[in-house]
Amino acid sequence: MADYKSTIDIQAKLKRLFAGIIEQMLEAEMEKHLGYEKHSAAGNSRNGYGKKTITSDYGECEIAVSRDRNGEFRP
């Protein structure tokens, strides 16, 4: 807590934590959608990430959203 000088610092940290949790949830959704774990070779594979801005109680944050080659993943 010594690194946080104000409530703005704490809010920024919470925003980053929130974004990280959302990204992990989306990765799990992608894994379920494709039917195999990351780094496994298969037909419809992962195809990088797109950026998306979401709004939460902590303000706007940018997250990375997985894409699949066939464009079928709808988080």
HSE-CB at 16 with a 13 A cutoff on CA atoms is 5
Could you give the angle at the alpha carbon of 24 between the alpha carbons of 27 and 74, nearest 5°?
40
Instruction: Parse the chain into domains and list their residue ranges.
Output: 7-38+45-68
CA–CA separation, 75 vs 64, rounded Å?
Answer: 12
The DSSP output letter for 48 is: E
As a whole number, the mean pLDDT across the chain is 85
Q: What is the dihedral of CA 3, 62, 11, 9, to 10 degrees?
A: 30
pLDDT tier, 40 (very low <50, low <70, confident <90, very high otherwise): confident
Kindly report, residue by residue over 2-27, the tens digit of the pLDDT: 777 888 888 888 889 999 999 999 99
